[in-house]
Structure 1
Amino acid sequence: MGPGGPAGQSRRGVLFDVDGTLVDSNYFHTLAWWHAFRMHQFDVPMAAIHRCVGMGGDRLVDTLLPAGRERDADSEILASHAAVFALNWPSLRPLEGAGELLAACHEQGLAVALASSARNQDLAAARRALDADQFIHAATSANDAKASKPAPDILVAALEAVGVLAADAVYVGDSVWDMQAAAALGMPAIGVTCGGTSAAELRDAGAAEVYDGPRQVLGNLQQGAIGRLLIRA
């Protein structure tokens, strides 16, 4: 039996981005992309790369590289990023309070789903770092969506995986792309600045609330967007 209330009551849930939201990995991704671009003779500033982390890899490459480039190399750049990032899997660590936040949402009867733009292999590595699978009902990755963030496809896949409507869910993420994806579905979004994006940028992108990270979200669980889901229980 899945999460949710009594028969006839709509199921409620919280969707989570992973990189930069639950796991401290955004700067590993930034450096991996920098190396991948340099391997293919593209010199892209790390600050520009970091601002695009959270997009799907295909969109990130297309956004940062010249429009008139030879696109045959794009798949090789993606593969290079994957190879370099994989070297950092043993260094991945959960952000403070991440596991406790997932546990608290689970214990409150909410469906808990991961909605990440990461590849399956990278998501698996992040889940090992989190060590909280017992509190996660479903997880979707870039492999589950035709279009990557800021398109909402990955969020739609996560909602379907746990049987929750967008109107009965909240999304927690660290990038403007997360906020835009949630807004496309009319879903309230909570922003966290632990991925390196400022509170002002997250609010401008549509965040209803912004916190420092998972620990602060947990401390305010009964207030705001998640609290309103609980009140409806």
Structure 2
Amino acid sequence: MTNSATLPYPADTAALLFDCDGTLADTMPFHVVAWQESFAEHGIDLPQGFIDERAGKPTETIVREANVLYREHLGGKELDPVAFCEVKEARFLVRMSEVLPIEPVLATARAAHGTMPIAVVSGSNAAVVSKTLKHIGADHLFEVVITADDPIPAKPSPEIFLEAARRLNVPPEKCHVFEDGDPGIVAAKAAGMSWTDVRLVLSC
């Protein structure tokens, strides 16, 4: 993305909450490849739609769902979510140098920095989020960063967004969420927050 114009949000907004993957950083193509390569090791030809439908969910949750969906293919065995995630995340991280920021979203965060509380609320683990934010030059912008490592119900539960609002000391109805995944949009709605689906905005 080259357009660095900021994105709009309601005038009465008191805090901004940003997803990371696919929202602040254009990481999703690289995550998809890492997923597909990792599942291919187990003889599974993973369709991209499987990941697209689960954007924003923690990696271990996605592996558990795959265990159910591909139970017969796996011959009754189950993939170890923790071990699988380590392999998958390593495959993603070796591609980090290719990741670009999604400029309009990052510009929005930069413009808000110092003027209102802002947070990252991600389904990825803390190490991946930290390295991604550092790579795009955004690691200094956010007062709060919540990841899959925090013991909070993940998207599509609203709890992860409500916890961000609590930590920022801002009422949920005054928070605006920037998201690119359906589970995140569902969570934002359930939390009573306004939201922007960046997929729709950036495709215009």
Q: State the partner residue of 1:223.
A: none
> Does structure 1 conserve the Cα–Cα contact (< 8 Å) formed by 2:159 and 2:191?
no
Larger RCO (CA under 8 A, 6+ residues apart): 2
- Name 2:161's counterpart in structure 1: 155
Shift of residue 72 of structure 1? 5.1
Provide the C-alpha distance between the structure 2 equivalents of 1:56 and 1:85, rounded to a whole number of angstroms.
15
Q: CA deviation at 1:96?
A: 2.0
Aligned partner (choices 50, 57, 64) of residue 52 of structure 2: 50
Give the distance between the partners of 2:98 and 2:192, measured in 1 at CA: 36
The code of the aligned residue for 1:126 comes to T
Q: CA deviation at 1:184?
A: 1.7
Cα separation, 1, equivalents of 2:197 and 2:78: 34
Deviation for aligned residue 1:152: 2.4
Larger displacement relative to structure 2 (112-121 or 138-147): 138-147
- Indicate if the aligned counterparts of 1:105 and 1:112 stay in contact, CA closer than 8 A: yes
Q: Is the 8 A contact 1:159 1:165 kept in 2?
A: yes
SS of the residue aligned with 1:14?
Answer: strand
Say which is worse superposed, 118-127 or 129-138, in terms of deviation: 129-138
Which SS does the other structure have where 1:36 is aligned? helix
Q: Which residue does the alignment assign to 2:171?
A: 165
The correspondence for 1:22, drawn from 18, 21, 24, is 24
Amino acid at match of 2:15: G
C-alpha displacement at 1:11, in angstroms?
Answer: 9.0
Given that 1:23 and 1:129 are in contact with CA atoms closer than 8 Å, whether structure 2 keeps it comes out as: no
Structure 1 residue 71 corresponds to structure 2 residue 78: yes
Is 1:59–1:148's contact at 8 Å kept on the other side of the alignment?
no
Report the equivalent of 1:84.
91
The question of whether the paired residues in 1 share the 8 Å contact of 2:119 and 2:164 is answered with yes
> Which among 107, 117, 124 is matched to residue 111 of structure 1?
117
Report if aligned partners of 2:19, 2:178 keep a CA contact under 8 Å in 1: yes
Q: What residue number does 2:6 align with?
A: none
- Runs of 5+ in structure 1 lacking a partner? 1-9, 194-198, 200-210, 217-233
Q: CA deviation at 1:139?
A: 1.1
How many residue pairs were aligned? 188
For 1:129 and 1:94, how far apart are their aligned partners in 2? Answer: 9
Q: CA deviation at 1:187?
A: 1.2
Alignment deviations for residues 107-160 of structure 1 (CA, whole Å, 9 cap, x no partner): 5x2211111111111101111122134432221111113322112232233222
**Sequence identity (%):** 23
CA-based RMSD of the aligned residues comes to 2.3
Query: Is the contact between residue 112 and residue 137 of structure 1 (CA under 8 Å) also seen in structure 2?
Result: yes
| Between 77-86 and 133-142, the greater mean CA deviation after superposition | 133-142
Aligned mates of 1:155, 1:188 — CA distance in 2 = 11
**What is the alpha-carbon distance in structure 2 between the residues aligned to residue 89 and residue 153 of structure 1?**
29
Query: Structure 1 or 2: larger helix share?
Result: 1
Assess if the C-alpha contact under 8 Å between 1:117 and 1:154 holds in 2. Answer: no
Identify the residue that residue 202 of structure 2 maps to in structure 1: 212
Q: Give the unaligned 5+ runs of structure 2.
A: 1-11
1:129 aligns with 2:135: yes
What TM-score, normalized by structure 1, do the two folds share? 0.72
What is the one-letter code of the residue matched to 2:107? E
Counterpart Cα distance in 2 of 1:94 and 1:145: 28
Work out which of the residue numbers 167, 180, 185 in structure 2 matches 1:179. Answer: 185
CA distance in 2, matches of 1:157, 1:88: 31
User: Which of 25, 30, 33 is the aligned partner of 1:31?
Assistant: 33
